[in-house]
Amino acid sequence: MLLLHLLPILQHPQLNFPFRVWKHVVEKGDTVIDATCGNGYDTLALLKMVADESGTARVYGVDIQRDALENTSSLLDENVTPKEKELVKLFSICHGRMEEIVPENSPVRLVAFNLGYLPGGDKALTTVPETTMLALEAAKRILVPGGLISVVVYVGHPGGWEELETVESFASGLSVDDWICCKLQMLNRPLAPVLVFLFKR
């Protein structure tokens, strides 16, 4: 019986599992960041988790590709109310600059990354280890205790494994007293996306 509940998650871990983890971390009214908007599905999911009537929640969406931001905006138009969409702020900048867009006294509960290329876009345009490391360092600085850095690494493209190594190196260097770091990887599907969660105590 347990396997029946786990099967949908295990078949598509990059689609299901992060959302389930996020729900145990974020609360209504929180500030969160989608550091790689892509086509907007994470942005939408995060908005649904944090939006409430108070209007205090914020979802900051970042992507260096304008096509990604346009796709995200269109997805939001189709699925949320205008009032909910006002809680989302989209920025066409590198994710390594996320600190520039978040107000100084705004505690960030979650930062989500999908590392790779824009689905349906130019596969030659990908996230790269150098800027990903800068983004992880930025996320580390702005995350509040009890917050989460969530990373999905797509390894099935050139540079994917190197980027995973960068994420693992960053995670391995975090203090065990201050962080809980774990990885979910499918052992019999070597090119499946790898999930990394960094929880700040």
> For the stretch 162-190, what's the b/e string if a residue is b when 16 or more beta carbons lie within 10 angstroms of its beta carbon?
ebbebbbebbeebeeeebebeebeeeeee
Predicted confidence at residue 45, as pLDDT, reads 98
Q: Where are the domains of the chain?
A: 29-200
Helix axes 160-172, 129-142, angle to 10 degrees: 30
- For 33, 76, 84, 167, 200, the CA distances from 109, given in Å and listed in that order, are 8, 21, 19, 19, 10
Predicted confidence at residue 11, as pLDDT, reads 57
Nearest 10 degrees: Cα torsion 73, 58, 143, 200: -90
Instruction: Read off the amino acid at residue 140.
Output: K
Predicted confidence at residue 146, as pLDDT, reads 98
Topology of the domain comprising 29-200: Rossmann fold (3.40.50)
Predicted confidence at residue 16, as pLDDT, reads 73
Splitting the chain (201 residues) into consecutive groups of 10 residues, what average pLDDT does each group show?
Answer: 50 72 97 98 98 96 96 98 98 97 94 92 87 98 98 94 98 98 94 96 97
Helices (H), the chain: 2-11, 13-22, 41-50, 66-79, 82-85, 129-142, 160-172
Predicted confidence at residue 14, as pLDDT, reads 53
Predicted confidence at residue 200, as pLDDT, reads 98
